[in-house]
Amino acid sequence: MSYLVYGYVALGLVAGGLGLGVFTLARNPPVDTPRLGMRGLKRALALEDGGSFGTIEPLMRMVAGWVAHLPLGDRRRQIDELLKHSGDWLGLTANEFVALSVLGFVGFSVLGVFAVNLAELPTALVAFFAGLGLILPYVRATGERDRRFKEINRALPGAIDLASLCMGAGLDFPGSIRQIVDKSGREDSLVEEFRNILRELELGRTRRQALENFADRAPTEAVRDFVGTVVQSEEKGNPLAEVLRIQANMLRMRRSVMAEESAARAAVLMMGPLMLIFGAIILVLLGPFIINSMESGF
């Protein structure tokens, strides 16, 4: 009987904790949806696409209103940097990103409980599902960041060449960037960043500020070199078209060197799988002989 009483007490404590959590969340108003800047544009596009994000977005904003009171310290700034480098993924703020992780933790935990009960799986899989839901937003954001950086690094030398050709034909630097944006056949990360540079120039920011913001959003070595070259050429009065042509050649040479290094490193990394395959072949060939010799007593 005492065990039954303790069970009811534990159930009441859990229910009270859940009720207190719901009451705390309900008291905090949901955070406002970002409406301005690139983050507001990305949020609007994400909501237009529909899908699961549009369904959980109101709940995410409600949880973000509670997360805003948590003392996350530098972690909030680090998350904001990650979101900026990922191209303002889904138009999330740092608090909404943490709220999305919390919702993923809860949702995948419930999914894990159902999977364990229905398929009679080990109970430890619930913790695996919960951890997966917790880190899934971080994995998606880092994947989007790496994809953007790779896409920008690949497209930048060709874009610099086009800019130098346009400037050689008589256009200024913003005009050449506009030509690249207007004549581009597809919307990639570099075209999006060039469009952001043009918007900032139209809003009255200097060329240096717009380019440094570009390097802040995509802090790769190729982008930093490009920005530093343009800024230094503007300060010293060097012909920018010739400087851009030299910069494009240097970026291509650097990509070739990196490709050769990756090819050489791949040959070394292939040794491990090849040795495993070789060992498996040896076992397949010699296994029957070993088993026969063991059964015959030799």
pLDDT of residue 1: 46
pLDDT of residue 297: 59
pLDDT of residue 56: 85
pLDDT of residue 61: 86
Instruction: Give percent of the chain with pLDDT exceeding 90.
Output: 9
- How far apart are the C-alpha atoms of 74 and 102, rounded to whole Å? 19
pLDDT tens-digit profile of 187-234?
A: 788 888 999 899 888 888 888 899 899 999 988 888 888 888 888 887
Work out the pLDDT band at 252, boundaries 50, 70, 90.
Answer: confident
pLDDT of residue 139: 93
Structural domains of the chain in order of their starting residue, each with its CATH number = 14-123 (no CATH), 147-255 (1.20.81)
Amino acid identity at 210? A
What are residue 266's phi and psi, to 5 degrees?
-65, -35
pLDDT tens-digit profile of 55-86?
A: 888 888 888 888 888 888 788 899 999 999 99
Three-class SS of residue 227? helix
For residue 294, give both structure tokens. Answer: 């063991």
Note the maximum CA span of the chain: 92
Region 240-256 average pLDDT: 78
More confident of the two residues 279 and 22? 279
| C-alpha dihedral (151, 153, 157, 163), degrees to nearest 10 | 70
Cβ–Cβ < 8 Å for 193, 218: yes
pLDDT tens-digit profile of 47-59?
A: 887 778 888 888 8
Q: How far is CA 89 from CA 24, 72, 96, in A?
A: 28, 21, 11
pTM for this prediction: 0.74
